[in-house]
Structure 1
Amino acid sequence: MPNLPPARNAAWLIPLLAALAIVAGIASLLVGPAHLSAAALWAGLTGHGDPIVRAILFQLRLPRALLGLLVGAMLGMGGASMQGYLRNPLADPGVLGVSGVAALGAVIAIYWQLASAHPFVLPLLAITGALLSLLPLMWLSRRGESTLSLILAGVAVATVSGAGINLALNLAPNPFAAMEITTWLLGSLEDRSFGDVWIALPCVAIGMALLLWDGRALDALSLGEDAARTLGVDLARVRLRLMLGIAIGIGGVVAVAGSIGFVGLIVPHLVRPRTDRSPSAILIPSALAGAALLTFADLGTRLVPTATPLKLGVLTAFLGVPVFLHYLLRERRLW
């Protein structure tokens, strides 16, 4: 790896974002249909207090809070990595089509009623779909190292996966099956358990480790592909590790939370002005900011009064569009 100077962040940024993520997680534990005080929750966490409080805490709220942090962190870091590698501020984890194929795998499980056979069938097919999406990506982009070839391959994969999902909705055997597919695609952390946490945790850990591995290579790529090669960056290996990191991490979060958009797109723009703007400098801050943002958004789905539960993917879209447009107009000359 080239001997590049380390990326720098403001000294307060990472501690502040970490504290914000912790606050979001605690708030997620406190808010819900049943009012629980902080003292009651603490007693439940330490194994004391009302058994009903412990059941609410460990079966509903704690898994939901942990998943919010995990999913948000992976989406945030995935977006930062894709924007750094592709040198495109409009890139996000879905640009390679990985999230679309993962969603297609889950839709197949729902459509063929495989998800009812065992709780792990749906996440297993979603993660398998994300990994299988790498095969057409590698084949379609095999002739060149250019990031443009990877983007075009991702567009092709995303288009095919979207067509597959629409076909499943079109041919759904009954309205209830179509409604189940649509509901899952909207994204949610509601009614998740520790089983879902154990599915997402290893995927997110492996995915984020692979993305952090090439942080310095992303800095070199900001100078251009020819300059990166001169500095000793193996573009083929960097691309493979990034694709594996995105596939494993995003496959894991889509498997448990459904399709959640805009987090990976807007979070890097929120933290980039507070750093030296090098790609590696925004990876960890984007993970922490993504964790906080998604957990607060999930908190919002419980606080917004609606006749039916508000889905997380819907809320993140409504929150993400104005924030993204604001930073697009404000920062467009600095990219």
Structure 2
Amino acid sequence: MITMKKLLALLMLLVVVTSLLHLSIGGSSLSLWQLIWQPNQVNDTGWMIFTEIRLPRLMLALTNGCALGLAGAAIQLLLRNPLAEPGLLGVSGGAAVVTIAALYFGWLPAWHLGLPGLAFIGAATTISGVLLLAGKSIQPLRIILAGIAVSTFSGALMALLLYLAPNPFAFQEWSQWLLGSLSNRGWPQWYLVLPCVVIGTIILLFCQQFLQALTLSERTVSVLGFSVPKYRASVLIAVALLTAGSVVSVGIISFIGLFAPHVARLLGFQQPRQILWLSAPIAALMLVLMDCLVRTLSTARELPIGVAVALIGGPLLVVLLYRRGRVDA
């Protein structure tokens, strides 16, 4: 059986290979081979394409993949619900609502460094709403239903704000952003998500032993010396931060955070700590591969990556629900 260290090394290798492939794909004839072995033959336009378009897009894919993977794994482990995910629970929608409201009412300009803070408030409020609706129950179905209710309400608020937008161009731009896309993004968007990922990861580092202990009952966890309310709030803050940074920078991309932990489990790793830290590179790899696919298949108009992921993730979610139903039965 493969060890976690070997799997992490393999995942890092795959991430590097797919990253090189990602950097080689684009609308221009510029190849990575030219940049590495014939840099003197690359003009200023070619270097600008690489440094201002392709490289920041790759960094956004990697960083947002890690954010979504960590957020998905953390919320699944905290709720002990393998079907939990920020997108399905409406957390992404909550962050998006506050972001659109900030742009609509002119609180902050687009891509302002304060946007992740506002999105964090929306994400944290949404998580609290879902847990309040679900009550003390940790039944997967009840939590998912609570998430659907909150997500539907968030979607209605977003639709209302978009409908009332005085500028039709703003409506089109915000709608495109909500679909989840890595196109027309650059370093400013990466600077928005990076602090959220760093802070969220640090919080989860301090909470990993608590998540590991949650395999036991909450009473046993308390006996072990963990303050359950304190650590639970810390994990939720980390999830809200990771989700907010991702939503502000690239929009709503669902399912990545749901499936990355399941891939870790399918590979034979069942311990919470293993699932948490394997989910980050797995999700990053998945998002980079999906973006390569989108850029390769798209012709005149690029398909938003959020739509492409949803087209694949929707049927897979049905399979997970079916398998979960058979296990519960």
TM-score bin, normalised by smaller chain: 0.7 to 0.9
Q: 1:41 to 1:327 in 2, by over 3 A?
A: farther
**Partner amino acid for 1:129?**
A
- In structure 2, the partner of 1:120 is 111
Contact 1:78 1:264 in 2 (8 A): yes
- The correspondence for 1:87, drawn from 64, 80, 86, is 80
Between the aligned partners of 1:312 and 1:226, the Cα distance in structure 2 is 43
Between the aligned partners of 1:333 and 1:12, the Cα distance in structure 2 is 33
- The correspondence for 2:120, drawn from 123, 126, 130, is 130
- In structure 2, the partner of 1:63 is 56
Between the aligned partners of 1:133 and 1:331, the Cα distance in structure 2 is 27
Q: 1:274 to 1:333 in 2, by over 3 A?
A: farther
User: TM-score with structure 1 length normalisation?
Assistant: 0.84
SS at match of 1:12: helix
**Partner amino acid for 2:228?**
L
**Partner amino acid for 2:285?**
A
Between the aligned partners of 1:324 and 1:180, the Cα distance in structure 2 is 29
Deviations 1:217-269 (A, max 9, x none): 11211223223223222111111111111121211111110000110011111
- In structure 2, the partner of 1:36 is 30
Contact 1:106 1:255 in 2 (8 A): yes
Stretch moving more, 64-73 or 204-213:
204-213
Say how many residue pairs are matched: 324
Deviations 1:94-145 (A, max 9, x none): 3554322221123224434667xx4433x63353132354357558868x99
**Partner amino acid for 1:164?**
L
Q: 1:35 to 1:211 in 2, by over 3 A?
A: same
Please, which runs of 5 or more residues in structure 2 have no aligned partner?
none
**Partner amino acid for 2:287?**
L
Q: 1:218 to 1:35 in 2, by over 3 A?
A: same
Q: 1:313 to 1:132 in 2, by over 3 A?
A: closer
Between the aligned partners of 2:324 and 2:296, the Cα distance in structure 1 is 32
Between the aligned partners of 2:185 and 2:60, the Cα distance in structure 1 is 8
SS at match of 2:229: helix
1:273 deviates by 2.2
- In structure 2, the partner of 1:3 is none
Contact 2:98 2:119 in 1 (8 A): yes
Stretch moving more, 144-153 or 227-236:
144-153
Stretch moving more, 281-290 or 89-98:
89-98
The question of 1:224 aligning with 2:214 is answered: no
User: TM-score with structure 2 length normalisation?
Assistant: 0.85
**Partner amino acid for 1:68?**
A
- In structure 2, the partner of 1:297 is 290
Q: 1:155 to 1:321 in 2, by over 3 A?
A: closer
**Partner amino acid for 1:201?**
L
Contact 1:25 1:65 in 2 (8 A): yes
- In structure 1, the partner of 2:230 is 237
- In structure 2, the partner of 1:22 is 16
Between the aligned partners of 2:260 and 2:32, the Cα distance in structure 1 is 30
**Partner amino acid for 1:40?**
Q
Q: 1:328 to 1:146 in 2, by over 3 A?
A: closer
1:281-296 equivalences in 2 (<5 Å)? 281-296=274-289
1:294 deviates by 0.4
Between the aligned partners of 2:321 and 2:17, the Cα distance in structure 1 is 28
Deviations 1:203-222 (A, max 9, x none): 11111221232122112112
SS at match of 1:93: coil
1:236-315 equivalences in 2 (<5 Å)? 236-315=229-308
Between the aligned partners of 2:28 and 2:275, the Cα distance in structure 1 is 38
The question of 1:13 aligning with 2:4 is answered: no
Q: 1:203 to 1:43 in 2, by over 3 A?
A: farther
1:51 deviates by 1.5
